[in-house]
Amino acid sequence: MCTKVPEGVENNKGNIYMANTSPPSVIKAYKEQFQRDFSFFLKCRSEELVAGGRMVLTILGRKSEDPSSKDGCYIWELLAVALNDMVSEGIIEEEKMDTFNIPQYTPSPNEVRSEVVKEGSFNLNKVEVSQVNWNAYDNAYSPSEELDDNGYSVAKCMRAVAEPLLVSHFGEAIIDEVFRRYREILVERMSKEKTEFINVIVSLTKRG
């Protein structure tokens, strides 16, 4: 949940989001942008609700307290792999890659809880975490056709999110090739490990 790419992430070279190779200043910038945006979001929603009104939010997040952990960043790290491969082949300019970052933040339950308490408009009823597997079949073993279908589905879902950002920064010419490679990377990783999205679900009541 971020309204824009935070300022101060110019040195996040080789990455397009928070990663374990991102400098601490990049992690800090992303977290502070989330805090500002989520606090403003809560303030605006509180103005729309009567006292005692309830709101349930489902936020793409993470379990870990580490903002650069795999459960919050992996889907973007794999897209960065595809883009970096194209940089190494001269298809994408390195400077273009180094100045592209995703405007998102995947908070932990504690970070969501902290911002709700700090903003002060709502009572916090409940915070839960749920998992959604990238592999829709969710089998210990998936035939190659199923994995390919799931890789296609995940790549298509992510394309709907990322394509406008990529087109704006890199232009339209590379898009089909980016997501062709991305799909192949997804299929390969999904064949070797369990991959999942993490949702943070929060129930709130407007204070009187």
Instruction: Give me the domains of the chain, ranges plus CATH numbers.
Output: 24-134+149-206 (3.40.50.150)
Burial (0-12, 13-18, 19+ Cβ within 10 Å), 142? middle
Q: Are 60 and 38 in contact (CB under 8 A)?
A: no
Q: Which amino acid is located at 136 in the chain?
A: A
Q: In angstroms, rounded to a whole number, what is the distance separating the alpha carbons of residues 97 and 157?
A: 22
Q: Model confidence at 148, in pLDDT bands (50, 70, 90)?
A: low
Which residue's structure tokens are 């010419």?
173
Q: How many whole angstroms from its chain centre is CA 20? A: 15
Name residue, tokens 């997040």.
61
Q: What rounded mean pLDDT belongs to the chain? A: 92
Please tell me the predicted confidence (pLDDT) of residue 97: 96
Residue 42 has pLDDT above 60, yes or no: yes
Evaluate whether 204 touches 59 at the Cβ level (below 8 Å).
no
- Looking at residue 151, what is its pLDDT? 80
For position 3, what pLDDT does the model report? 85
**Percent of the chain surpassing pLDDT 90:** 82
Residue 137 has pLDDT above 80, yes or no: no
CA 19 – CA 2 distance, rounded (Å): 17
Q: Is residue 82 over pLDDT 60? A: yes
Residues composing the chain: 208
Is residue 32 pLDDT above 70, yes or no? yes
> CA-CA distance, 82 to 31, in Å (whole number)?
26
Q: For residues 186-198, give the mean pLDDT.
A: 90
pLDDT at 143 over 60: no
Strands (E), 37-146: 54-61, 122-133
- The CA distance from 196 to 194, in Å, is 7
pLDDT at 153 over 90: no
Confidence of residue 134 (pLDDT cuts 50, 70, 90): confident
Q: Residue 96 pLDDT more than 80?
A: yes
